[in-house]
Structure 1
Amino acid sequence: MKSILIIEDEEAISRVLAAYLKKAGFHVTRSTDGREAMAQFEAGDYSLVLLDVMLPGMDGWELLRRIRAISPCPVIMLTARDQLQDRLGGLNGGADDYMTKPFVPEEVVARVQAVLRRRPHWTDGESKRYFGNLLIDYASRSVYLNAAEVALTPRDLSLLLFLAEYPNRIFTREQLIEQVWGMDYDGSDRAVDLSIKRLRQSLTHWSAEAGEIRTLRGTGYQFWIGD
């Protein structure tokens, strides 16, 4: 059973979210204080964190930074603020999704399930995968080419991790937008093309015999690996 840590200081919201998540089959732990929550996270084994921004003890931004320093565990930010800068700050800081209050509990459960589908490697025992001279370390969310770390933007990294999780499978732009950018993304699907272009530039020296990111004209993209 997957375990969810809810870090929310509003008791009513926390209690309702816990009830809906338990009904969906998750084990739930709740915390109302930032410092206490960090200690719980370090001592536990969680599949995902629901993290409020405004917390006593330690705010959500600092908590997110500390979680990301030690773990790739998926995090969905919860906040009453709907400023674009806040959303970008959370996503660029390593959050997997962002929800603005007030929200419908059923949607929170749907977002949790969607994020966990996008991050199946988090529950896998083996965190490192080699594709020729390309190494992807899912636990640390880092990529190495010829033993040198490759610098990628958070979004490009998430796209690469997702594609590499399903070698040789073809994904349309729409599927990649839903799985990597999130259900509430309202920009152009050409963002996928630009991200793919940057990834190819960053992986110029990836051995062609080992694999490549292919474009299937009129269909989508594929993380192809050789036999």
Structure 2
Amino acid sequence: MKKILLIDDDVALCELLTEYLVGEGFAVESAHSGPEGVSRAVAHDWDAIVLDVMLPGMNGFDVLRQIQAESAVPVLMLTARGDDTDTVLGLELGADDYVAKPCSPRVLVARLRNLFRRKLEQTTVETEQRVGDLDYDKQNRRVRVGDRDVELTGAEFNLLVLLLEHAGDLVSKEILAKQGLGRALQAYDRRIETHMAQIRKKLGPLPDGSPRIKTVRGAGYQYLVSE
């Protein structure tokens, strides 16, 4: 049974969609504000999230950024009918699909099933890349060092991929914060340092014993590749 999280402040619409989705064999829960949606989204494993753009407390685009920093769950966005700006922005930020409101339950179910089919097809495609002794798969969000699988959080994976895609080059903290964590770098914010410490611990050193990730004080980080 596929588990769906609805994030929409329209309680009546959530009840309507829930009734229809449950009848189609889905398990459904709802959140009715941006902050609640983020909290629920990252606290549980979902097969898909249906996310409205207009939410109290935090708009849907900011919710999408925060979810993606912690999870690879597919997100289908609900946008105002005819609002191409919201649709394009949502897709550019990484939403997997969209449905215009007012939302037809039948259309939503069809889009969700199509989304699941696409995801299943994508997992059969070879998407693994290698940097030194490390293999990573952006599509399926997997990392392996040698013959050892490495379990990373969503934020850790995003930050590591940014370093791997620029292996040997410095990646600034501003880019890591914006592209890896989905938020602007704040003064005295230590989250990047904390994530990097965990990434180093989980990956271990390079085969020659040297560190994988170099800190350039005040500037950023660099993934090192042994000669």
Pairwise TM-score range, normalised by the shorter structure: 0.5 to 0.7
Length-normalised TM-score, structure 2: 0.56
**Partner residue, 1:49:** 49
Max Rg structure:
2
Q: Which residue type is aligned with residue 3 of structure 2?
A: S
Please state how far the C-alpha of 1:136 moved relative to its aligned partner.
2.1
- Please state if 1:58 is matched with 2:74: no
**Partner residue, 1:27:** 27
**Partner residue, 2:70:** 70
Q: In structure 2, how many angstroms separate the alpha carbons of the residues matched to 1:38 and 1:121?
A: 28
Task: Count the aligned residue pairs.
Answer: 144
Three-state SS of the structure 1 residue aligned to 2:14 is helix
**Partner residue, 1:9:** 9
Question: Is the contact between residue 34 and residue 60 of structure 1 (CA under 8 Å) also seen in structure 2?
Answer: yes
1:123-147 Cα offsets, whole Å, 9 max, x none, are: x8xxx96478774232258998xx9
Please state how far the C-alpha of 1:121 moved relative to its aligned partner.
8.0
Q: Which residue type is aligned with residue 16 of structure 2?
A: V
Where does structure 2 lack aligned partners over 5 or more consecutive residues? Answer: 142-156, 167-227
**Partner residue, 1:149:** 165
- Please state if 1:136 is matched with 2:121: no
Q: In structure 2, how many angstroms separate the alpha carbons of the residues matched to 1:19 and 1:2?
A: 15
Q: 1:92 to 1:22 in 2, by over 3 A?
A: same
Q: In structure 1, how many angstroms separate the alpha carbons of the residues matched to 2:127 and 2:111?
A: 27
Identity %: 38
1:36-115 alignment, distance < 5 Å: 36-115=36-115
Question: Is the contact between residue 142 and residue 149 of structure 1 (CA under 8 Å) also seen in structure 2?
Answer: no
Three-state SS of the structure 2 residue aligned to 1:49 is strand
Length-normalised TM-score, structure 1: 0.56
Q: In structure 2, how many angstroms separate the alpha carbons of the residues matched to 1:83 and 1:116?
A: 25
Where does structure 1 lack aligned partners over 5 or more consecutive residues? Answer: 151-227
Q: 1:17 to 1:142 in 2, by over 3 A?
A: farther
Q: In structure 2, how many angstroms separate the alpha carbons of the residues matched to 1:141 and 1:111?
A: 27
Q: 1:106 to 1:142 in 2, by over 3 A?
A: farther
1:181-217 Cα offsets, whole Å, 9 max, x none, are: xxxxxxxxxxxxxxxxxxxxxxxxxxxxxxxxxxxxx
Please state how far the C-alpha of 1:17 moved relative to its aligned partner.
0.8
Question: Is the contact between residue 72 and residue 141 of structure 1 (CA under 8 Å) also seen in structure 2?
Answer: no
Q: In structure 1, how many angstroms separate the alpha carbons of the residues matched to 2:159 and 2:110?
A: 28
Q: 1:43 to 1:143 in 2, by over 3 A?
A: closer
